[in-house]
Amino acid sequence: MEYLLIRKNLLRNRKRTALTVVGVAISIFLFCGLLTIITVMNNLLKDAENSSVLGVRNFYSWVEGTIPVTYVERVKQVPGVQTVCPLNFLTSYIDVGKPNLFGLAADPVTVREIFPEFKEIPETAYQDFMRERTGALMGKEKMETFGWKVGDLVTLRGASVPIDIPIKITGVIPYGGLADNFVIHRDYFEELNPDKGNINFILLRVGSGHTPAEMIQTIDQTFQRDAIKIKTETVKTVLLALIGQIDNLQILIIVIAAIILVSSLLLAANSIAMSVRGRRRELAVLQTIGYTPRRILILVLGESLVTVLIGGIIGSVTAYVVLYYVGLNLPLGPQSYFNMPWQTLIEALLICAVVGVLSGLVPALGSVRMVLADALRRVG
């Protein structure tokens, strides 16, 4: 019965309902985009928390510090270390004035064990990558920026190294932290690079039965007496350092998201309030046919809930589809590429339900007051 009335009432002023639904949909669309940014950042940390991947770097510095390649074997010898992947970082460019490309020269076999997103690359493409000496996995973002296809031959001109590196794109990194980067074979890079025998980073996976904390200690101790000092870190430490500095921006995003919600709340509340105001006489009729104030309250709340939910579903599903196909590219600390997780979609819908009830509250209470006032008048 209530449902029927809610439907009738909403369809009575179609123009108003449509305007409100579209307005709410737009707000929720924006809200989902912002919520995605926050969620992806938090998920990154949560994943890192459970990650069994550790990084070994030069104690001294970060991107440009090197450690001897001989350390790789010694890290492998440490009991509890499972997969070991030596890396070199390199910055390159295609042409002056075009965006730079930052990538990794890595061991193609073990790198797959470290980055979970590589499992999503089709097996045949990955086999091609492993077989081709000059093979490269290119991030989805960079493929789009430069308009490349799989199979293209490209020459990377080194900015951090004085060499040109001809590569063949054999696969695409679909998402994740490396979607804006590339990966090439370290052997091939080593052959071209005049600075032989040095790497920037060793990534390793901790075997079961060992905790990351104890492994960090063991590895650091192993190299304690060496001339070139190293530091072992969890992925989370690295991320925290990167995220910690964009804290402020995250706060700004949260504030904006909240403001957007409030504005959609205002929009819906106003629309329902206007519709209720025009129905004063009807509310009195409802009461005479036996509607209690409570039922009238539910009626109005339901009206706003339905309006906001329809708008919310349109907005959040659109956001999901748009972010899935187009993606959001914003360089924020460790992440520059955002896809909307389905959990965010559910969250957004739940939040819409709350907004729907809240925005109906003022007009609903108003209508109850109206009904009561009329009742009193009748008694008098």
Residues 187-226, interacting with another protein (CB under 8 A): none
Select the span of 13-21, 42-50, 202-210, 282-290 touching another protein (CB under 8 A).
13-21
Q: Does 267 engage in binding with another protein (CB under 8 A)?
A: yes
The residue within the footprint of another protein, chosen from 173, 203, 269, 300 (CB under 8 A), is 269
The residue within the footprint of another protein, chosen from 16, 210, 279, 295 (CB under 8 A), is 16
**Count residues contacting another protein (CB under 8 A)?**
60
**Residue 331: CB minimum distance to another protein, A:** 5
Evaluate whether 69 touches 199 at the Cβ level (below 8 Å).
Answer: yes
The residue within the footprint of another protein, chosen from 264, 287, 307, 344 (CB under 8 A), is 264
Residues 316-375, interacting with another protein (CB under 8 A): 329-331, 333
- What Å distances lie between residue 235 and 47, 56, 58, 346, CA to CA? 9, 10, 15, 28
Q: Does 256 engage in binding with another protein (CB under 8 A)?
A: yes
Q: Does 29 engage in binding with another protein (CB under 8 A)?
A: yes
The residue within the footprint of another protein, chosen from 91, 110, 134, 339 (CB under 8 A), is 91
**Residue 192: CB minimum distance to another protein, A:** 15
**Residue 272: CB minimum distance to another protein, A:** 10
The residue within the footprint of another protein, chosen from 70, 211, 221, 245 (CB under 8 A), is 245
Q: Does 177 engage in binding with another protein (CB under 8 A)?
A: no
How far apart (Å, rounded) are the C-alpha atoms in residues 202 and 72?
A: 7
Burial class (CB in 10 A: 0-12, 13-18, 19+), 135: buried
**Residue 36: CB minimum distance to another protein, A:** 13
How far apart (Å, rounded) are the C-alpha atoms in residues 326 and 322?
A: 5
366-372 contacts: CB < 8 A, separation 24 or more?
A: 366/273, 366/276, 367/276, 367/279, 367/283, 367/296, 367/297, 367/300, 368/293, 368/296, 368/297, 370/276, 370/280, 370/283, 371/283, 371/284, 371/286, 371/287, 371/293, 371/296, 372/293
Q: Does 153 engage in binding with another protein (CB under 8 A)?
A: no
Give the other-Cβ count within 10 Å of 221's Cβ: 11
The residue within the footprint of another protein, chosen from 125, 163, 240, 375 (CB under 8 A), is 240
Nearest partner of 354 among 261, 285, 253, judged by Cα? 261
Q: Does 380 engage in binding with another protein (CB under 8 A)?
A: no
**Residue 138, φ and ψ in degrees, nearest 5:** -110, 140
219-224 contacts: CB < 8 A, separation 24 or more?
A: 219/54, 219/56, 219/75, 219/78, 219/81, 222/74, 222/75, 222/78, 223/71, 223/74
Q: Is 231 helix (H, G, I), strand (E, B) or coil?
A: strand
The residue within the footprint of another protein, chosen from 121, 169, 204, 260 (CB under 8 A), is 260
Q: Does 249 engage in binding with another protein (CB under 8 A)?
A: yes
| Residues contributing to the site for another protein (CB under 8 A) | 15-16, 19-20, 22-24, 26-27, 29-30, 59-65, 91-93, 96, 100, 157-160, 162, 227-229, 237, 240-242, 244-249, 252, 256, 259-260, 262-264, 266-267, 269-271, 273-274, 278, 329-331, 333
